[in-house]
Amino acid sequence: MAYETSVPFRAGSEGYASFRIPAVVVSAQETVLAFAEGRRASAADSGAGNPAPVPLPGGRVLLPQVHNAAGATEQRILRGQVSEADGRRVWLQHSDDDGLTWSAPREITAQTKRPGWRWYATTPGHALRLTRGAHAGRVLVPANHTTPPLGADSGAEPRYNSGHCVYSDDDGATWRIGYLDENPDGYVNVNETTAAELPDGRVYFNTRNDAASPGHRADATSSDGGETLDKPFRPQAGLVTPIVEGSVLHLGHPDVLLFSGPADPAHRALMTVRASRDSGLTWRPVHTASGLPAAYSDLVRVDADTVGLLYETGDFSAYSTITFRRIPVEELT
């Protein structure tokens, strides 16, 4: 089958050495909005990061994101070698014209990041606006952070990775920190996290795990809109990936939860969409984009018949392009 594809971001174009960290949403005006980090000098993880867009019903699109000083590398932040002012700080912008123009960034660090946290990142990928139950209308952004070391070591080990979410009940005016998952056991240590709302109103969270549990994935649910977890994150061996970000999307109708991410267990390659009919308990592959290198991705429901997959890929490097592929819903269900 031939799939409709486009390439909104290509490394070496528009004055940027690299584009990374895709995120995609469909606005209230039914416009597909694709986001990425434009990295000027290289593909290194420094400067601005992790756009986490979320559309609101009235037409506004919120854009949480994270900035740090250009010279504050990830390793220096993990080791506690930068000041709070130069470290990871959280900002919010919005657009009221379908992404054509954006407000000036407004800092929300004091509401979303606890003192002492070192690394900090929103999702990556799209954020959520809940539609069911007592917390309908809540904007929810999965996030991750690292905690200071327990002893004299550097704090850069994966066991200090931790997870949380932030949420707003007033369309982004004010923010609170929701659940915390901080357990430096070296087995399940929460990293980049994505979320989807299930039909029963629970929020399903799926996270990258750099530590020792099988499959490099872990998951959890929340029954109170992200304020707490029903149980701590546990290994999800039904999703085997390399160490990498992934994306989840619930289709709503039909009752199918999707996950996108590379399927090669050791390398960032073989971008695959997998599906669950039991709210994330078990999974099966339903669509393979290609056998090429591939890394980060994001999923969006484009319309009743189509799911969009925005993902990093290329012939010889996963970071050559960010490509958008339209996939028929019937193929995924």
Q: Which residue pairs, CB below 8 angstroms and at least 24 apart, start in 266-273?
A: 266/242, 267/242, 267/293, 268/242, 268/244, 268/293, 268/294, 268/295, 268/318, 269/293, 269/294, 269/318, 270/294, 271/297, 271/309, 271/311, 271/313, 273/299, 273/307, 273/309, 273/327, 273/332
Q: Per-residue pLDDT for 47 more than 70?
A: no
Quote the Cα angle for 172-295-288, to 5°: 105
Tokens 């339209």 appear where? 326
pLDDT at 236: 97
User: What is the DSSP code string of 103-168?
Assistant: PPPEE-HHHH--TT---EEE-SS--EE--SGGGTT-EEEEEEEEPPPSSSS-S-SGGGEEEEEEEE
With vertex at residue 21, the alpha carbon angle to CA 232 and CA 205, rounded to the nearest 5 degrees, is 20
Is the pLDDT at 126 greater than 90, yes or no?
Answer: yes
State mean pLDDT over 156-178: 97
Whole-model pTM: value is: 0.97
At a CB cut-off of 8 Å and minimum separation 6, what does 117 contact? 88, 145, 146, 147
| End-to-end alpha carbon distance in the chain | 16
Q: What is the pLDDT of residue 41?
A: 83
Nearest 5°: phi and psi at 111?
-90, -15
Tokens 């004055």 sit on residue: 15
Do 246 and 261 meet the contact criterion of CB atoms below 8 Å apart?
yes
Query: CB of 52 within 8 A of CB of 92?
Result: no
- pLDDT category at 108 given cuts 50, 70, 90 is very high
**70 has pLDDT over 90:** no
Q: What's the rounded Cα separation, in Å, for the pair 183 and 325?
A: 37
Average pLDDT score, the chain? 96
Look at residue 253 in the predicted model and tell me its pLDDT: 84
What pLDDT, in 10s, does the model give residues 276-330?
999 999 999 999 999 999 999 999 999 999 999 999 999 999 999 999 999 999 9
| Main-chain phi, psi angles of 281, to 5 degrees | -75, -45
- What percentage of the chain carries pLDDT values higher than 70? 99
Angstrom distance (rounded) from CA 21 to CA 46: 12
Split at pLDDT 50, 70, 90, the class of 201 is very high
Separation of alpha carbons 56 and 49, rounded Å: 22
Handedness of CA 192, 198, 203, 204 (dihedral sign): negative
Q: Side-chain half-sphere of 27: how many Cα atoms within 13 Å?
A: 19
274 within 8 A of 333, measured Cβ to Cβ? no
Side chain identity at residue 70, one-letter code: A
